[in-house]
Amino acid sequence: MLIGWLMGGKDHADRQLLATVTSIRNAGLCLLFAMTLFPGRGVNDVVLAYVLLMIPPNAVITIAGVGREYRRQKSGSEAGDA
């Protein structure tokens, strides 16, 4: 996540998107490979645990970004009303 955030550039929306995507981008594919190539060895449990551990930080970043954008739009519309 940190690498995605740092590589996202100056735009907050780009940083948020890149951080989220880089942290979970290939988890589904890894789970498919783990189930296919290593059946019965517990590898899919490790991939599933990783995915479940990445959901809370991604949710926090997404909710914070949505809240920030909402406040920005709200303050911009109030400034236009004055």
Is 23:57 a contact under the CB 8 Å cutoff?
yes
Indicate yes or no: pTM above 0.75: no
- pLDDT attached to residue 13: 78
Tens digit of pLDDT for each residue in 17-63?
887 787 777 777 887 888 888 888 888 788 888 888 888 888 888 88
Q: What is the DSSP string of 39-63?
A: TTTTHHHHHHHHHHHHHHHHHHHHH
Residue tagged 């303050």 (tokens): 75
Tens digit of pLDDT for each residue in 62-82?
888 788 888 888 887 766 555
Is 11:26 a contact under the CB 8 Å cutoff?
no
